[in-house]
Structure 1
Amino acid sequence: MKSELRRFLRGFHYAASGVWAALRTERNLRFHLCAAVYVLLFSRFYSFGRLEYALLVLCIGGVMSLELANSAVERAVDRPDAEHWAAAGLAKDMAAGAVLVFSIAAATVGIALFWQPAVLAGIPGWLAGHPLALALLAASLPCAVCFVLQPKKKG
C-alpha cells in the first residue's frame, strides 16, 4: 500500500518537473503564463462571479495544457529519420494548430467577458488615483518581457 501511494505521489513530482522544464525552455508557455497573470489581475475590475472565473480558469488551463502538449510533441518527434520527416513536421504543425485554435477560442471568451466599455474606461482613472499600483504595473511589464524573452535554457 505504501509503495502504491509513493508511486502515485511520484507521478505528481514528474508532472511538476515537466511543467518546470517547460517554463524554463518554452517561450510561448512563459508568454501564456504572464498573460494569465495580467488577465486575472485585471479581472478584479469586473464584478465577475464564479461562472466567469470558472471560464477564465478553464481557458487559461486549456491554453497552457495544450502548450505543454505541443512542447511534448515537438520533443517526441524532433530529429526524425528521413522516412518519418514529413510526418513529424505534420505532427508538430497539428499540435501547434491545436494551441492556436484554443487560444482563439480563449481570446473570444476574454473579449466576451472583458468588453465592457464603462469598466475599461474606468481603469486608467483608478490607476491614476493609485500611484503605487500604477508603479507596480509599470515595473512588472519589463519584468514580464524579460521573463518571456529569456534565452532558451538547455535541459
Structure 2
Amino acid sequence: MKPSQQSLLKSFTNAFAGMTHFFANDRNGKIHLASAIIVIITSIMLHISAIEWLAILLCIALVIGLEMLNSALEKLCDLVESNYHPTIKVIKDVSASAVVLAAIISVVIGIIIFLPKIIVLL
C-alpha cells in the first residue's frame, strides 16, 4: 500500500473513532442520534418522497455535524481556559446557537414534510 493510501485509511479510522466517541460520550450526541433514528423510522413509515428524504438527511447531517463541532470547540475552549472567561463564554454561546438554529429550521422542515402526511392518516 502506498503511504498516501495508508494515511487516507488512517484519516477515516480516526474520523470514525471520533464519531464513535461522540455518540458514546456526549449527552447531546445521544439525544440527536435518538432523534435522527425516530425521524428516519417516521420517514419510512410515512413513505416520504426522494426529495423529502434529501431534505431530512441533510437536516440530520447538519444538526449532528454542528453538534459535533460545538462539542469539539467547547472541549478546546475548556483546555485553553479552565476558568470563566467572557470571550470563551461568547465562543461557546455562538457555537451552541449554530446548533439551535439548525435544529429549529430542521423542525420546521420536518413539520412541512410530516404534518400533511399525518393529517391524511387522521
By the TM > 0.5 criterion, same fold?
yes
Q: Which amino acid aligns with 2:4?
A: E
Question: What does the per-residue CA deviation read over 1:69-110, in whole Å, with 9 as the maximum and x for residues that have no partner?
Answer: 00000000005166x821111111111000000000000000
Radius of gyration: which is bigger?
1
Aligned to 1:150: none
Aligned to 2:100: 100
The alignment partner of 2:85 has SS state of helix
Tell me how far apart the structure 1 counterparts of residues 88 and 8 of structure 2 sit (CA, whole Å): 32
Which of 1 and 2 has higher RCO (CA within 8 Å, sep 6+)? 1
Question: What does the per-residue CA deviation read over 1:13-55, in whole Å, with 9 as the maximum and x for residues that have no partner?
Answer: 1111111111122111111111111111111232322110010
The normalised TM-score by structure 2 is 0.90
The normalised TM-score by structure 1 is 0.72
Q: Which amino acid aligns with 2:72?
A: A
Q: Does 1:60 align with 2:40?
A: no
Aligned to 1:28: 28
Task: Give 5+ residue unaligned stretches, structure 2.
Answer: none
Tell me how far apart the structure 2 counterparts of residues 8 and 35 of structure 1 sit (CA, whole Å): 31
The alignment partner of 1:12 has SS state of helix
Aligned to 1:9: 9
Q: Identity percentage over the alignment? A: 29
Aligned to 2:73: 73
